[in-house]
Structure 1
Amino acid sequence: MRSRSAIFVFVALAVLPAFLAAQDAADTRPGIAVMRFDNAGSHGDEAEAENFEALEVGLQDMLISELSQNSQLRLVERGALQELIREQELGTEGRVEAATAAEIGRLVGARYMILGSFVDVFEQVRMDARVVDVETGELLRARGVQDRREQIYGIVVELSQAITEDLDLPELPEAVQEERREREIPSEAVTLYSRALVFQDAGRTDQARELLQRVTSDFPEFVEAREKLEQLPTG
């Protein structure tokens, strides 16, 4: 029987041309891919378990969005990464290790892979990001940010800026950083948005649309929700 690593290489070689063809050969910006967040659970509030499961996808998408505010970075689209992982059946059996992340990163043309995790302890949320160097497979940095659950969007913003700083990458202009920090995105908006993404990934477009419409109506500052709503297929 073939080993899992052999199967990985075989499938990687099979799908590699399609992914490389999607990359702009002239684009020399550092590429970054963000994996789905690992959920370490909610301790002290079992009623939030379903919402925290949805945050695995929501936080991944939001961190991609924050990093993509910087035009000097190239972010791998979540859909492309998701398709690759689905093809190879990776990331469904627990935490993805640095070596596997590096292999995925090479396949999607990323320079760095971000492996995120989060935990809620009595409404105190901590997010951690591990940065893998795709070229060497080494774990370069690990950074954690903690705040009240209500400030979950602000945690993502801070984590995004910390990653850029740690890797000595070009930073967002200070005015843009300040604008992102000042946005008032409550935790309710984040959880609704995250659940909408779960529905979208499952092909449940009507449910995704309903939640995104609610977010755009109740929380107009959350422009990412409006963008996702506009991208949903109609009919």
Structure 2
Amino acid sequence: MRNRKLLFLIASFTVFAFVVSCGGVKTLRSIPRSERKGLAALNFMNNTQKSRAEEFQPWEVGLSSMLTTDIESIGMFNIISKERMKDVMKEQEIQMTGLVEEKDIVKVGKLVGASYILAGSFTEMNGMMRIESQVYSVEKGIQLGTAAVTGKTGDFFELEKQLVTKVTDFLNVILTESEQVIIKAKVETKSVEASLSNYKGEIELMKAKELEDTGKKDEALKLKQVAKEEFQKALKEDPNYEKAKQNLAKIVSAIPVTL
């Protein structure tokens, strides 16, 4: 009992030290970026029943984002940016969501310079959530395995952390107990509604950028306004949601005062 309490205190102190030092991007392991392997994540497929699928659509992007943020914090992988992924897949006329053929996934990994690719899906039904993630080795050209977690939708953020631990096993990264404590402690928000609103806003921003790239600036501005409202909703649900704060700050500076 005494040893367990001591372990908890050590882990808690480690969490505190890690969080305090996060002014810059601090990782759990000190491996030079030049020695890290590239990892890319596709958007997750939303297999929720059609009548409610739209409600959880933001997590198609959100789940991928949360997983890569947690995996990057370990310090063993260089995460391939969504922008890089999107550019390559656009050139190849491949969708970010819904890529299921192993050969296509491996092909994308090679094109973006990734050693590993994460894909996956989730299903919400009657207050329960199931999340699955497939891990692919680009170098070997095979699927390494599938990780799955199931639980209450309200426990979504805990489920995501459980998934991180399972996914990293396939990546040959065994997290120590203290590392798991640190990762579990770093939660964007504990509000399901805030998370969905934030990622809905991010999706609207992505659409706005696509419109801007084709010269449709007026339509892009309208979507930016929608994104702004979603970020505000997220902060209404959770005033301490740092990611939503940052997104709102960026969008406010991007929208003319007249809107």
Q: The TM-score by the shorter chain falls in which range? A: 0.7 to 0.9
Would you say how many aligned residue pairs link Structure 1 and Structure 2? Answer: 207
CA drift at 1:216: 3.1
Instruction: From 185, 195, 200, give the equivalent of 2:200.
Output: 195
Partner letter of residue 247 of structure 2? K
Corresponding position: 1:31 with 2:38: yes
Report percent identity of matched pairs: 23
TM-score between both structures, scaled by the size of structure 2 = 0.71
**Contact (CA 8 Å) 2:129, 2:151: kept in 1 or not?**
yes
Taking the TM superposition and a 5 Å limit, the aligned residue runs for 1:57-96 are 57-91=61-95, 94-96=98-100
Partner of 1:225: 244
Whether the aligned pair in 1 keeps the contact of 2:189 and 2:195 (CA below 8 Å) is no
Separation of aligned partners in 1, 2:225 and 2:61: 18
State the 1:187 CA deviation.
1.4
From 18, 42, 61, the counterpart of 2:49: 42
The 1:184/1:61 distance shift into structure 2, 3 A limit, reads: closer
Runs of 4+ aligned residues of structure 1 deviating over 6 Å after TM superposition are none
Q: Could you give the per-residue CA deviations for residues 21-57 of structure 1, whole angstroms, max 9, x where no partner exists?
A: xxxx9622121111011111237xx2x3212223212
Q: Is the 8 A contact 1:98 1:138 kept in 2?
A: yes
> Structure 1 residues 93, 143: closer, same or farther in 2, change over 3 A?
closer
Q: Given residue 185 of structure 1, which amino acid in structure 2 is its aligned partner?
A: K
Greater shift after overlay, 78-87 or 138-147? 78-87
2:215 is the alignment partner of 1:209: no
Q: Work out which of the two has the higher radius of gyration on C-alpha atoms and give 1 or 2.
A: 2
- Confirm whether residue 122 of structure 1 aligns to residue 126 of structure 2: yes
What is the CA RMSD across the aligned residues, in angstroms?
2.5
Whether the 8 Å CA contact 2:197–2:230 is kept in 1: the answer is yes
Can you list the C-alpha shifts for 1:162-195, whole angstroms capped at 9, x where unaligned? 21133222637244124136x7512112211221
CA spacing shift, 1:159–1:92, aligned 2, 3 Å: closer
CA deviation map 1:59-103 (0-9, x unaligned): 222222222222232111122212222222212784431211111
Q: Partner amino acid for 1:56?
A: E
8 Å Cα contact 1:195-1:208 kept in structure 2: yes
**Aligned partner letter, 1:127:** I
Determine helix, strand or coil for the equivalent of 1:89.
Answer: coil
The structural deviation recorded for 1:127 is: 0.5
Question: Runs of 5+ in structure 2 lacking a partner?
Answer: 1-31, 209-222
Match of 2:185 in 1: 179
**Residue of structure 1 in register with 2:159 after alignment:** 155
Per the normalisation by structure 1, the TM-score is 0.78
Matches within 5 A, 1:104-123: 104-123=108-127
1:91-138 alpha-carbon deviations (Å, 9 max, x no partner): 278443121111111111111100110111222110100001001210
Q: Which amino acid aligns with 1:140?
A: L
Q: Is the 8 A contact 1:105 1:134 kept in 2?
A: yes
CA contact (8 A) 2:44 2:60 kept: yes
